[in-house]
Each structure stands twice: as structure tokens, then as C-alpha cells.
Amino acid sequence: MSAKPLDTIMSPSSIAITGASNNFVKMGTIQMLNLVNCGFPGDIMPVHPTEKTVLGKKAYPSIKDLPYAPDLAIFVVPTRLVPEMLEDIGKLGTKHAVIITAGFRETGGKGRDLEKRIIDIARTYGIRFLGPNCLGIVNTHLPLNITVAPILVHGGSFSLASQSGTYIAQSVKFLQKNGIGFAKAISVGNEADISLADCLEYLGDDDRTKAIGLYIEGIRDGARFLEVARRVSVKKPIVAQYVGGTEAGARSGSSHTGAMAGPDFIYDGLFAQAGIIRVDTIEEVYRIGWALATQPPLKGTRIAVLTNSGGPGTAIASTCNAANLEIPEFSPGIQESISELIPGHASPRNPVDLTFHMDMDTLAEKIPEILFQASEIDGIIIHGIMDTGFLELMYPVAKDYIPMSKEEFLKASQVRIDKLVRMPHTYGKPLLISSFFGKEDHAIDEFHGSRVPTFDSPEKAAKAMAAFYKHLLIRKRNSSGKAERPEMTVPAEAREILDGRKASAIDEYMAKRVLRAYGIPTAQEHLARSPEEAIESARRIGFPVAVKACSPSISHKTEQNLVFLNVNDEDGVRQACDSILSAAPDAGILVAEMLRGKREFMAGISTYAGFPPCVMFGLGGIFAEALKDFTIRLAPLSRDDALEMIGSIGAKALIGPYRSMGEVDRNALASVLMRLGDLALDFPGIKEIDLNPVIIEDGKPKVADALMIIR
Amino acid sequence: MSAKPLDTIMSPSSIAITGASNNFVKMGTIQMLNLVNCGFPGDIMPVHPTEKTVLGKKAYPSIKDLPYAPDLAIFVVPTRLVPEMLEDIGKLGTKHAVIITAGFRETGGKGRDLEKRIIDIARTYGIRFLGPNCLGIVNTHLPLNITVAPILVHGGSFSLASQSGTYIAQSVKFLQKNGIGFAKAISVGNEADISLADCLEYLGDDDRTKAIGLYIEGIRDGARFLEVARRVSVKKPIVAQYVGGTEAGARSGSSHTGAMAGPDFIYDGLFAQAGIIRVDTIEEVYRIGWALATQPPLKGTRIAVLTNSGGPGTAIASTCNAANLEIPEFSPGIQESISELIPGHASPRNPVDLTFHMDMDTLAEKIPEILFQASEIDGIIIHGIMDTGFLELMYPVAKDYIPMSKEEFLKASQVRIDKLVRMPHTYGKPLLISSFFGKEDHAIDEFHGSRVPTFDSPEKAAKAMAAFYKHLLIRKRNSSGKAERPEMTVPAEAREILDGRKASAIDEYMAKRVLRAYGIPTAQEHLARSPEEAIESARRIGFPVAVKACSPSISHKTEQNLVFLNVNDEDGVRQACDSILSAAPDAGILVAEMLRGKREFMAGISTYAGFPPCVMFGLGGIFAEALKDFTIRLAPLSRDDALEMIGSIGAKALIGPYRSMGEVDRNALASVLMRLGDLALDFPGIKEIDLNPVIIEDGKPKVADALMIIR
């Protein structure tokens, strides 16, 4: 693989920094302080117009005065100075930059122009850059830290790429307290050059990174993001939060990084297709990302829950179960082994509830050993291991009855977890810990040191285990790579109808001809120009038929009484034609077979800036809008994509067999969705396609009505 | 109001405790230690067979030897000793007990018998008790603490009743770290006598309690719980978690407290009807409960979001928006006032994003003052106030450039929040704080001291604000009290049909007669005994008609081809009759009008142990099972209950107006649901009623098909 710009940006051997001084309240100064103090092993060269030294390092009055071209230049200067200084580093020969300065596209108007200018300058000099309007980068294994927070070198295995710098810098204490350590962290800012997808690709290839977190306000290039993510996600878990899917979220994101958001359902579909585990909070990005980065993958669905307390056990069991994980009752042999270790009234079934119990070895070693060894169990969650956290609270109350100093007492009470923390790797099963205590508890602190994830409430551990299960499904996917468009030329008939056509010229009859040219089955139909022709058509098709007005200028046909269904005889056809022609004298008359089938779905295409055409699938019929049960994927679709779509609507039971109805031909339905995607890719002028209903007749999908809108 | 047993249990003036000794590893000892050390102002009398004193208090060899009958007796003795000792305190005259000892119903078999025995003893002596199998009680305002954890007297305003003792005792550190303080906490255990509903009623009347949390594995008496909760919830917010709705959750709960769980949807309906805010995690019970207990109620939907960072601002805005809260752009006047205080590239619109900014006064006082004063804003969320938490991290890095000791530096950097914490009460608007820092940060610690809730990630603050909004809706309800069954005698015709009837004797015709007797409209229909009668009926009803077999022994009529719809003429009726009679010679023939209407709903009754009849409402038709879009409420229903049900299904848009269909007569539909509930209450033998479809014809609901099952 050829070297990528982020390889250098994340691991430079020399850095020039502009905007740092000896004034501690300046952002640039704080960032340089962190750079200097993190232990970065290369040259650091501050550029400052007047200072001789900055934070103890020799300063250079201008970029031109630097002794050589550094690997990386960092800008924390006022907005107006950026273009010229960028040009200067270009002339010097530096090819990589991080532009922290804000005030560009996210402010609209002039800022947008200024951003274009720096993009042009970068192109001219071959500079690749992160930002502007970002908060810097962290590489704990180099080490390198140019953020505003003194992120300690933990040498973790979880990496984050974020459209918010805060989630890299302001959360440092939160992460420390929860034992979470970054491998790499990248604040992407406005993504004027290097994008979130580039960061994802870089982290996907990074050996130190075992799981990836993403914070997303809007993706600029959906096709590339999808392509990169589906390649990475089968190797490494990706956890992502998307916050642009509401009116307020979109508006806020836009003034934050100028992000272009999209409806929430697009990201739901994109994440599903890409194999990304979607979460709702930044806390979940961190905690679940860290768990996935540190524990072995889950290989099945059977989870053991071990606690010293019924409430957390029940909550964990219930939350796991609701996420399709099993909490199986243990086999008699396992139950017997456990029973020997626990009080008589305690349950050995799963969850194992030791009840109030001060013998922590049972909870932290003896029973876990049994569970890790058991072939009937795939993952383990333990709640309630605690020592000094609880006993420190008890000491003042009980000290008169304890013949030891506090320190001795706490030391004597420490639980040994050294065996437990090795078990996940020995047995290849994930272990997650739940506890109401944090780092103040010696056991929890030891878990952090041993990189076993801890969760401060039971349901969080369960939700993390659910993410392991999601990644199991993602790893198991047949097609890991990009969906390939099958080799097939664009049908001539479709070209004939669509090439150069305007929105106002596509009627239902033409739309269906295009569909059939793509192999998408529709109801059999004829376009008649007179009542006589219509009757002739009906005779050929066979009664009952549907008779509809056909004109690109008529929409909402049903509401206008221009659709007649179940027409049983020639008289009926004539009456229908008369009604249609008196209301719409110029309309054609579409005579179509009446499809027999109770199950109605919808399929379609919708388009959004920044994304390839979205293929939609859901419940159809006249109630589709009210039911809102649909899902999307981005074209082109692999067969697996299409099959996953079909299986992911709420009313998927209708795919059958359902009551007296047979199973829907999933492959035929998948083909409809795949070919719809191909059609939309072939003709970028298509703005929208709405096939509703797609009726299931004898198990096969057939399009009964079609609407196609051209840009 | 007459004194309730919990009044004495939670505020006794004297306590006898059994099971405590001078051996520190015994649970009873730990509990007595906490009782002694909490500062309980009354007499504490340990009962111990051999010790002269226990934990410094004079011990009595047996209950009989106590100098007088204490207000409250606490049992932490082995299971087998409980009955006799309970009898002893009864003889002594003590009327209240907390039985912490486990090993009763939750263990099945003998334990179940033993539990019955202690109930009998308690009845004999007029003793009211909590437990068995509980973990005790806390009343921080007395103070009183008989749990295993040294819960500090915080004197909070949030109270918890829990089916898990852990959530009272093991979470003590978690609560301390998050500034959350109990007023009262009650571990209910097996609820052999005093129930969760009793606790809820007590806390509802308790002046110190401003909001109530519940942890629930299963409710024993749904009717009473509902009656109490709907009375309390209009005064005080109730936040509840239910974990029994999955197979694993139900199984685990059963071996924990012998709880009888029920499907999740019952609790969804029960909570909605009762005005309880449902949450998914115990963390939310604590945090959201604490927020509701400490902040003024929300009076509208317009939330201001103020941050020093775009990511959290966007996440808060998006999470609020998704929960139906508005993040309105501020009016020009407010934007102008804010603009004067923030950097040029920062946004004053809402969210306000100060961007990286070290002037905390702007964030913690100046802009909040503007927002609290603004009549266009109902609630405020602030993210990013921090001082020593961040600066303590920075000090080691920056100390060479700071002319102060660490202590001086941290002190000098402290943000003043004294004005901010008073604003919510001055202006009557809730304030929620989000920060990645905790108690280690001086500002956050001050917030805790001032009882302003803090959340360690942005979405949590937003979700808490959403709970304030839910409570706004609950407070606004028309009917606060119990739904009253309207004064109406049981219809004679219903009695005639149902009294003493067995399951096998109710056919569709009878079921519909019962419905009509209750004023529930059905399709017009006749029961015919011969094809000739059927034709005559069809003529009277008018074509087209439906012709169906009618017999209590036939189910799944449609699948067996015993239903003929849209029969257009006499010949058709005859053919239908022939088909039916050849397949089912003994069946009656039901001839019914064909209802004209596209919208099909379902309504019904289902019954579950421990609950009044559940009235169901949802999408109907043959796809109802696949769509699973329904909701329940417990009978009897008020009109508001029924209207809320109708408005709470997913596809509520179908209630209309929808496309060319008019609005459904909500009152008529509500009446169907209310009368169904009355019917089920009048005839407890009814196990199930299934009205599907209920067709909307000209806006009015009419039952097209009905199934009634008797126990």
C-alpha cells in the first residue's frame, strides 16, 4: 500500500507550529505545551514574529526562516493569516498540515471563499491537510499530542475520528476515569481536504487500532465512506454516532463544521450496509469502542451473567435478551459445580446470583473459571466485584471493630483479579465488568490497568455485549467487499426513453417500460388511445382489469378518480374511459391486469446530495406513509445488501410464510431492489422512483404502479 | 389521612434488631453498624443470645427480654428462626417489622410455605412488615439507615422504592460521585405484606420526596399500583425501570424475589396510563429522578442549549429534538445580546457555541442570565463549565509558565456559579448541566452542593430534559384520578348469553350480540339456519353481503374457506351456504353486511395474572400480527385513557384525515375501547376478546369480526 497523507500527519518526525507563544491563555500555546510535554520524539519548531524562544524551544520569526521543511505544519493563527502561511510552507516544501484555525466554511459567506482559497493553495503545492476548524491529533504510541488537553500516553487500542474536537480533548478526564485509552485520535474539522472516510481508511490499516469510533454530524461523500467502511468493518469493529438527523441537529452541525446532514434513515441504512455499529451517545462510542478494542470477539450468542446481587443480574439478563443474546440456563453439570461454591438460597442457573457475599474469590475467580471453560458459554458479564471502594466507605463506621489501620485493612481486603483478567485471552471469550464503583476501588483500577472494560451500570455492560454480537454478524457476512454492479450494458430501451428526457415527459407507461427493460416485473399492461382500444386491450389481458389515466402531468390519480380497479367487463372499461377522458381529454388510457395478492410492498429510489441513489424498500399500499416501515441502502446493492434490507423491515414476518400465504421469493424481490439501484446509477437524472404497490402474486413481486421523477 | 404502616417503619422512635453481633463479617452486624453510625435519634436494642453488648449497645438475650415493645423490629437471622421471633414480637406488642432474611418464596417449595406462615403470624398479631428477602430502608432526614452500606446523610429530595436492595446499598458511591441524595429509600424484597404500591403511596404523601424512582421486576397487584400511581404522578414525577419483559429477565426476577413478571407491552401501557416516565437503565432512574426532584418543572417545549463546543451542542440539540423538544433559533434581540459576549466566529443562534473559550463567566453567568430571562425559552442545558478539573490536568504541563503554586492556581481559576444555581428557582425554569468532568472539578462539585443535576455526557442531559417534558404532559392531563366505570347496569342480554357459559358455547353471533348490548357497533347481521333463511337475510341487509359459518367450535374460518366476502347476489349466497354446510353441517350461517372502509383496526381484551383486563387497540386486518402496532391500557378506562391509546399507536396518522379519507370519530372509537373494558370487568370469566377487523366506515368504527374466549 502506498503511503497515505495521514501516515505522515499522524507520525511526523518534525513539526513547525504557528500561533503558539509564551502567553498561557492562548490556545496555540496550550497546544504546543501539550506537544512539548507529551514526549514527542522529533523536532518542534515554533514560528513567532517576535519571541526568541517559545516554551523553551528556539523560535523562528517566519516560516521562511525555518532551517528545513518539517514533515508537518500546524496552524493556530488568526483566520486571515492562514492562506499566506500555507503558501509559505508550500514553498518551503512541507507537504502536510493541520489547520486548527476556525472561521472558514462553517461561518458561511466569506469564510466559504477563504476555505476555497486554502484548498487551491494546497493543491498548487501538493499539501494534504486536516481541518480547518479542527482541534488536532493524538497518537499515543509515538507519542504525539497537539490538542488542548494533556492527554496521557496510555497506549490504548481504541481510535477515534471525530467531527467534534471536544470529543478528543475535553473528555480526557472522563476517559481516564473509565480506563479508556486512545491509540489515535483525529479531529477532522471542516474536512476541506482530508475527510472522515480518509481517517477511517487510515485507522483501518493501523496496527495499533483494534476498534474505531466515529462521531458524525454529516458525511460529504457517502459512496467513498461506504466503500471504505465496509472494507474496514469486517476486520475491525466500527462504532458510530450520527447526530444530524433532526432539524436542530442539522442546523447545529452546519454552524459547527459546515456539515451537510441528511435524514436519520439514510444513516441507519448506510451504517447497516457498511457494517457499522450505530450507537446513540458519545459515551457509548467510547465505552463500547473500548470494549471491542480490548476483548476477544464474541463467537456465539450464549452469555453467562454472574453477580452478587439480583437486580443487576436481572437487568443484564433482560437487556441482553432484548438484544437477541441468550442467557441460557446452565447444563446440570455446570450448575452442580457452581452450587458447591454458593449459598443454599442463591441461584446457580444463569444469572448466577451469589446474593450478599463477601468472599470475592468466588465471584472473581472460581465461578468465572468454570464459565470460561464451559463450551456452552460464549461471553461473560460479571457485576459486583469490589473491594477498597466499598470498604473505604465502611472503615470509618467499623473502625472500632477492626484491629488494623485503614491502609492495612484496605490492603488486606484487596481482591486478586490477575487470573480473571487473563481468562478472556486464554479462552477467547469476551469479559465485561459492571460495577457501581470506579477507579477509587482497587479492583476496578486493576481492571483498567489490565484493559478489561468496566461499566458503571449493569445495562451498559449488556448493551456493550450486544455490540459484540452485532460485530459477530458483520464478520459473518458473505460479501465483505464493495457491492459490484453486475456487468450489464444499459438497456437500449431505457436509453431511448430516458436520455435527455425532462421531468414532465415521463408517464406511468414509460416508467414501467424502463423498469421492464431492467428486468423488473410489472403488471401486464397496454396503453390505449381510445375506449375501443382499451376494450380490446382488456380483452387480451383478461378481466378483471385496472383502467387508469396515463399522463406525466397527472399525479394523485386515485384522489382525482382517474383510477378504476377491478373492472369486470367491457361496459365497465367503457365507463372508466368516459370518466377519464371527460376529466382529462389528453390523457392516455392504461389498461392493466389486476394483480391478485394481499401483500403490498413499496420499492423506490430517493436522492440526497452527497450520497449515491438510495434504494428504498418497505411496506406499501395506501397506508405506507402512515406505517413508515421502510429501510434504505445505497446503490449499487449486492444481493446480500438487498436480502438484508428485506429482512430488516419491522413487518418482516409478511415475507412469510404468513397465515395461508406462501413465502415471498426473496431473490426475486432482491433483484428488483438491485436493478432499481443500477437504473438510478445509469441515469443520474433520476430524482425519484416510487413503486407502490409492489404486489406479491404467487410469491413473486410485480409492480402495480410506478412514478418516476426526473430532475 | 390515617397513619400508614410505612409512616412508623420509616420513622420509628425505637428499634430492636436481631442477627447483629460483634462479628464484623456478618450482614446483620454491618447493618446495625450503619444504624448506630447514621445518627438515628431513637433507642437501638440488639437481641443476641449470648453477647452482653453488641456494638456498644446493651444486648437482650431474647425478644421476650426487651424492656418494652419497640416501634420496629428488624430481622437478619437465619430463615428458620424468623417465624418464632416474629410471633415473639407480636406477643410483645410491636406492630412493625423489616424482615431482611432471605430463603422464602424466591426459593420455591418450602420457602413458599414458610412465607405463608409468616404472613399468617403477622395477620394474627396485626404486624405490618417489609420483606422478607429485602435489604432495608433509608430515611436521610430522620436519619435512619439499616442497609449494608454507610449511606451518608445527604438529605436529598429523591426517593427510591426498589425490588433490588443493591440499588439502594451498592450504588452508594455512584450516587455520591454524581451528587445524588436520597430522601427515602426502600428495598421491598418479596412484598409478602407491604407492596411496591404501598411504598409508592407513602412516598407520594411524603413532603421530603419531590420525585420518585422505581425499580420493578414484576407487579403483583396491577389495579392497585395503577390507582396509586396515577394519583401520585400528577403531583410528583415517577421514573421507573421494568426488567421482567424478556424470557431471561422474567426467569431471573423470579429466582430473585419470586416476582411475577409480564410481557413488556403491559408495562408500557400501565406506565403510560399511570403517568409514569419509563426509562431503560437504573442510571436513568437515579439521574433523571434526581433532576426531576431538584429542578423546577418545565412549562413549555423550548430549550436553549449553551456550550463551549459544537459536538456536545449538536448532540444535545439533536437528542432533544428527537424527543419532541424544540431548540428554537433565538429572536434577533436575544441573538444580539449574546453576540456581544462571544467571539465573532461563534454562533449565537441556539445552540450557542462559544467555541474554545476560557472566560467561564460568559458560559456560567452572563449568557445564562439572558436565557433565563427570555420569555421565549422554557428550559436550559449548559455543557462545558469546568475549572479545576481541567486545570489540574494542565498544571503539571504548564507549571513553568504559571507564577503560582498549584493550589493558588486552582483557587484563582475557580468559576463562580452561585448566581447560576439560583436562576432556575428565580425564573422557574429547569437547568441541567453536562460535563465530562465530575466531582474532581470544583464547579461540578459546587453544582452538586447546590442541587443542580450534572450529567457526564451530553445526551444524558438531553434525555433528562425529555423526561421533564413527559412530566409536563402528565401534569396537563384532564383526569388525574382513577378512571371511573360509568354508572350503568350490566345489560340483561349480556347476562343471558354469558352467565355460566363455557368457552365452547360462544360463537361469533353471540359475541356480537354481547358487544351490541354494550353499545359497541357491529356490522348488521342475521343468523340463518338454512340457505333459504340466508338468502332472505341477505335481501333484507342488501347486497353485497358476507356469508360465514357460525359455530363456537370453528376457529380460523378464513383459512378453512368458511368465509365468503362480497357476495353479490342470491346465487352467490346459496353457493356459499352449500360450501359451508358441506364442510360443517352443524354450523349456523351468519349473513352480514359488507362494511365499506379501507382502514382496519383491532380492539380486544387479554388477561394476565395480577392485572385487571387489558384493553388492546392497534392496527388490524390480516396483517395485524406482522405489524405488531398496538397498545394496551388496564380496565376500567377513562375517556382520556382511550383517546391516549388511539393517539399512541405507531400508525396514528391513519386516524386521519388521511389521504382522501376523513377523520376517524375518535370519541366513537374511544367508546368501543371503554365499553370493552367494562364488559371484561363485568364478566371475569372472559379470557380473551379479539375484534379484528374493526372497520372505519364513514368515520365510524364497526366490528366486522369478533372472537370471544371464556375461561
Would you state the pLDDT for residue B343? 83
Other C-beta atoms closer than 10 Å to the C-beta of A128 total: 17
A-proximal residues of B, 558-577, CB under 8 Å: 558-559
Beta-bridge mates of residue B184: B139
Which of B177, B401, B598 faces A22 most closely, judged by CB atoms?
B401
Which string of b and e fits A455-489 if b means at least 16 CB within 10 Å?
bbbbbbbbbbbbbbbbbbebbeeeeeeebeeeeee
CB A70 within 8 A of CB A60: no
Q: What are the helix (H) ranges across B647-711?
A: 666-682
Tell me which of A253, A271, A292 is where a domain ends.
A292
Answer whether B255 sits within 8 Å of A440, measured CB to CB.
Answer: no
Answer whether A173 sits within 8 Å of B244, measured CB to CB.
Answer: no
Residue A479 lies in a domain: no
* B303: nearest CA partner in chain A: A248
A-proximal residues of B, 670-699, CB under 8 Å: none
A215 interaction partners in chain B (CB closer than 8 Å): 311
Beta-bridge mates of residue A98: A74, A130
Q: Which residues contact B113 (CB under 8 A, 6 or more apart)?
A: none
Residues B229, B209 share a domain = yes
Residue for grid cell 401520585: B232
Q: How far is B307 from chain A (nearest CA, A)?
A: 11
Look at the alpha carbons of B350, B351, B356, B358 in this order and tell me if their dihedral is positive or negative.
Answer: positive
Would you state the pLDDT for residue B357? 65
Which of B351, B353, B626 faces A651 most closely, judged by CB atoms?
B626
Answer whether A321 sits within 8 Å of B249, measured CB to CB.
Answer: yes
Residue for grid cell 406477643: B91
What whole-number percentage of chain A has pLDDT above 90?
Answer: 82
Chain B within 8 Å of A486 (Cβ-Cβ)? no
Chain B within 8 Å of A347 (Cβ-Cβ)? yes
Answer whether B456 sits within 8 Å of A384, measured CB to CB.
Answer: no
* B39: nearest CA partner in chain A: A397
Answer whether A149 sits within 8 Å of B358, measured CB to CB.
Answer: no
Which string of b and e fits A615-624 if b means at least 16 CB within 10 Å?
bbbbbbbbbb
Residue A586, domain CATH: 3.30.1490.20
Answer whether A248 sits within 8 Å of B622, measured CB to CB.
Answer: no
Chain A within 8 Å of B626 (Cβ-Cβ)? yes
Burial class of residue A50 in the structure, from the number of CB atoms within 10 Å of its CB (0-12 exposed, 13-18 middle, 19+ buried): exposed
Q: How far is B345 from chain A (nearest CA, A)?
A: 5
pLDDT digits (tens, 9 = 90+) for A344-392: 778 899 999 887 666 788 999 999 999 999 999 999 999 999 999 988 9
Q: Which residues contact B666 (CB under 8 A, 6 or more apart)?
A: B643, B646, B655
Answer whether B356 sits within 8 Å of A27, measured CB to CB.
Answer: yes
Residue A528 host element (H or E): strand A525-528
| Averaged pLDDT, A134-154 | 89
CA-CA-CA-CA dihedral for B443, B447, B450, B453, to nearest 10: 180
Would you state the pLDDT for residue B397? 86
CA pair distance B15, B25, nearest whole angstrom: 22
Residues A433, A285 share a domain = no
Show the cell assigned to B78: 437465619
Residue for grid cell 454530524: A217
A-proximal residues of B, 59-98, CB under 8 Å: 79
Residue A115 confidence (pLDDT) above 80: yes
Q: Integer distance in angstroms from the first to the last C-alpha of chain B?
A: 40
CB A376 within 8 A of CB A327: no
Structure pTM? 0.96
Residues B648, B613 share a domain = yes
Q: Where are the beta strands (DSSP E) in B361-430?
A: 379-383
Residue B162 lies in a domain: yes
Residue B408, domain CATH: 3.40.50.261
Q: What angle do CA B360, B363, B364 make, to 5 degrees?
A: 80
Residue B332 lies in a domain: yes
Size of interface A-B (CB pairs under 8 A): 332
Residue B652, domain CATH: 3.30.470.20
The residue ranges of chain B whose pLDDT is under 70 are 1-2, 153-154, 356-358, 478-487, 503-504, 559
Residues A211, A82 share a domain = yes
- The DSSP code for B363 is I
Residue A205 confidence (pLDDT) above 50: yes
Residue A496 lies in a domain: no
List the single best residue of A133, A173, A556, A568 to mutate versus B (max B Cβ within 10 A).
Answer: A173
Q: How far is B603 from chain A (nearest CA, A)?
A: 18
CA pair distance B205, A480, nearest whole angstrom: 60
Of residues A7 and B361, more confidently modeled? A7
Would you state the pLDDT for residue B274? 96
Which of A256, A322, A619 faces B314 most closely, judged by CB atoms?
A256
Q: How confident is the model at residue A258 (pLDDT cuts 50, 70, 90)?
A: confident
Burial class of residue B582 in the structure, from the number of CB atoms within 10 Å of its CB (0-12 exposed, 13-18 middle, 19+ buried): exposed
Phi, psi (rounded to 5 degrees) for B158: -105, 130
Residue B353 lies in a domain: yes
Q: How confident is the model at residue A1 (pLDDT cuts 50, 70, 90)?
A: very low
CA pair distance B461, B463, nearest whole angstrom: 5
Query: What is the domain range of residue A546?
Result: 524-593
Q: Which residues contact B92 (CB under 8 A, 6 or more apart)?
A: B63, B64, B66, B69
Residue A512 lies in a domain: no
Chain B within 8 Å of A167 (Cβ-Cβ)? yes
CA-CA-CA-CA dihedral for A22, A25, A31, A33, to nearest 10: 50
Which of A163, A283, A559 faces B660 most closely, judged by CB atoms?
A559
Would you state the pLDDT for residue B450? 95
B30 interaction partners in chain A (CB closer than 8 Å): 394, 398
Residues B568, B635 share a domain = no
Which of B24, B311, B437 faces A402 most closely, judged by CB atoms?
B24
Q: How far is B358 from chain A (nearest CA, A)?
A: 8
Answer whether B384 sits within 8 Å of A344, measured CB to CB.
Answer: no
CB A214 within 8 A of CB A201: no
Residues B605, B581 share a domain = no
CB A517 within 8 A of CB A493: yes
Answer whether B166 sits within 8 Å of A344, measured CB to CB.
Answer: no
Residues A130, A59 share a domain = yes
Residues B530, B632 share a domain = no
For residue A485, give the amino acid letter.
Answer: R
Beta-bridge mates of residue B454: B433
CA pair distance B508, A484, nearest whole angstrom: 56
Tell me which of A541, A576, A593 is where a domain ends.
A593
- The DSSP code for A365 is I
Half-sphere exposure of A103 (CA within 13 A, CB side): 14
Look at the alpha carbons of A394, A397, A402, A408 in this order and tell me if their dihedral is positive or negative.
Answer: positive
pLDDT digits (tens, 9 = 90+) for A440-482: 999 999 999 999 999 999 999 999 999 999 999 999 986 544 5
Residue A588 host element (H or E): strand A588-593
Q: How many domains does chain A fold into?
A: 4
Chain A within 8 Å of B412 (Cβ-Cβ)? no
Tell me which of B438, B459, B475 is where a domain ends.
B475
